Amino acid sequence: MFLKRLKALSRSLAFRLTLWYAGIFALSSCLAFVFFYYVIIDVLREQTDEDLRRQLSAFSGIMQVEGITGVQQIAAMDALSGGDQKRLIRLLSRFGTEFTAAGTDYWQNVGVNAEAIRSLLTNGRPVIETVVLPERRDSLRIIYGIIGPGVIMQLGRSLAGEIRLINVFQRLFLTTLGLIFLLAAIIGWFLARRALSGVGGIAAAARKISAGDLESRAPVSGRQDEIDQLAGTLNHMLDRIQTLIRGISEMSDNIAHDLKSPVTRIRGLAEITLTTAQSDDDYENMAASTIEECDRLLEMINAMLFISRAEVGVREVRPETVALKALVGDAVLLFETTAADKQLRLCFEAVTDARVKGDPRMLQRMVANLLDNAIRYTPPGGQIEVTVDTVVDSGARIEFRDTGIGIAAEDQERIFERFYRCDPSRTESGSGLGLSLARAVARAHGGDISVESTPGKGSTFSVILPAGPASP
Ligand code: ADP
């Protein structure tokens, strides 16, 4: 259980970020310490060498004034006084023969480096070397120099003090590094948890949504950071999806309702005819009604297919140049009798003979649907005006203005959805497909339809189509 948790934790982004953060922090501190370490070692060595050179020149001065006996006396005194530096002094001939030595009791194993003497005699410059004595945990820095004619001095001093300093520095460095790593891990963990806290909220919301709670939303902290933006975008997307799902479910309800009614009527009629029919006329009537209902069903199915085709795009069909004045004028003529039957005044005016590129059959169907709606939703005595003109920068415009029942503001965008009808009781005949078909055709031609309406006063549907070639 614990191991499982540990495994999950090691896979978490917060853990990995913390590790990176602490690692980078520790690495940079390490680099800084290593740099200081080498600088300190360099400075200490430089100081020791300088000290040895100074002492060598002091002995050289004594040699000049007091001769070799003076040097021997000082060397003996130095060996007796000992001190922290534990000096080693040897006076040698140019062939390496020892005149005098001091401090050899302490530095028993340290001999004379013949190579160093050779180099000194060749170059004439003092030679400095380090002799490491691991068994003593000590090192000796030795200088070989000429202090008088034919007299070479081997002068060494212990590096114990420097080694102690460096050891202290190393211990300090390791402790500080450990503390820095720990501190960086704590700070890193805190920062990573804080930065990723929103992600946990989003994941929890996503889990709830996939479990079926479509109302759930990702929490927005208000910090306006990237996580907040992500949560906001996700919530916006979820709102859209929920609206779409609601729309689809409403649409399927409507489809079911609209397809069910004719089928129920056909079935009812068949049942009644079977049980009560007395003559062939009754069967003929039933057949006629069945054909009528089937036609209605077919009409709906065809309309749906037509919309799908139009949505695929008019580019599928070879476009022709269509003169809107003639096309709309013909449709108005066709509907004149229906309008007159309902005591409606139907007027048509073409301000310009606008031309568009498109499919004339599709456009005819769009115009017919809009005209049919205007007539159906305008009570007797009303008026319908149809105009064709051109709008600068937009293209051709066909307007259908009626003095009908109007459309409520909340219905105005939804009437273009498939099967949507403002009257929920569906008392008026219709499929709820006319406007979605009209919009699909307009959009397939690169245009669109909009509506302006005041309930009780009337509606205006405007179709905008991109202008085609200029009129001849
Ligand atoms: P329908 O077959 O029901 O007319 P449409 O898609 O053509 O389907 O129209 C959708 C709904 O929009 C209609 O049910 C009606 O409520 C409303 N509507 C359409 N045109 C008009 C109009 N000119 N005046 C008032 N309401 C309209």
User: Any bridge partners for residue 390, and if so which?
Assistant: 396
Ligand 1 centroid distance, CA of 173 (Å): 83
What is the spatial distance between Cα 126 and Cα 431, in angstroms, rounded to a whole number? 112
Q: What share of the chain is helix, strand, coil (3-state, %, to 5)?
A: 60, 15, 25
Site to substitute for ligand 1 among 255, 335, 407, most atoms within 8 A of C-beta:
407
What tens digit of pLDDT does each residue of 44-103 get?
Answer: 889 999 999 998 998 889 888 888 888 888 877 776 665 666 788 888 888 878 888 888
Nearest CA-CA partner of 196 in 216, 222, 226? 226
- Best substitution site from 250, 365, 373, 423 to test ligand 1's pocket, by max atoms within 8 Å of Cβ? 373
Alpha helices by DSSP H, listed for 347-433, are 360-376
Where is mean pLDDT largest: 21-35, 82-96, 217-231, 338-352?
338-352
432 lines ligand 1 (CB under 6 A): yes
- Separation in Å, CA 107 to CA 80, 138, 157: 14, 10, 10
Question: What pTM does this model have?
Answer: 0.53
418 lines ligand 1 (CB under 6 A): no
pLDDT at 426 (0 to 100): 53
* Residue 240 predicted with pLDDT over 60: yes
373 Cβ below 6 A of ligand 1: yes
> Is it the case that residue 385 has pLDDT exceeding 50?
yes
On whether the CB atoms of residues 400 and 458 are closer than 8 A, the answer is no
For ligand 1, atom 19, which residue shows the shortest CA distance?
373
pLDDT 10s digits, 394-410: 789 999 999 999 999 99
Kindly state the average pLDDT of the residues 327-352: 94
Separation in Å, CA 385 to CA 21, 115, 382: 73, 119, 10
pLDDT for 371: 96
Which of 415, 417, 426, 459 to mutate for ligand 1's pocket (most ligand atoms within 8 Å of CB)? 415
For the chain, what is the mean pLDDT? 86
What value does the mean pLDDT take over residues 146-156? Answer: 89
Residues of the chain with pLDDT > 90, as a percent, come to: 29
DSSP letter at 12 equals S
Range from 228-232, 240-244, 281-285 carrying the lowest mean pLDDT: 240-244
Is residue 298 within a helix (H) or strand (E), and if so which, with residue range?
helix 280-312
Judge whether residue 317 has pLDDT over 60.
no
79 lines ligand 1 (CB under 6 A): no
Find, among 155, 158, 116, 112, the residue nearest to 133 by Cα. 158
Task: Check if 419 has its Cβ closer than 6 Å to any atom of ligand 1.
Answer: no
Measured in Å, residue 424 CA sits from the centre of ligand 1 at 12
Contact 31, 205 (CB under 8 A): no
Lowest mean pLDDT among 129-133, 260-264, 370-374, 433-437: 260-264
In the predicted structure, residue 238 carries a pLDDT above the cut 70: yes
Mean pLDDT, rounded, for 317-328: 87
Q: How far is the CA of 9 from the centre of ligand 1 (A)?
A: 60
pLDDT at 251 over 90: no
The predicted model gives 199-210 an average pLDDT of 86
Q: Flag whether pLDDT at 226 surpasses 60.
A: yes
Q: Which residues of 67-84 are buried (b: 16+ CB within 10 A; e: fewer)?
A: ebeebbebbeebbeeeee
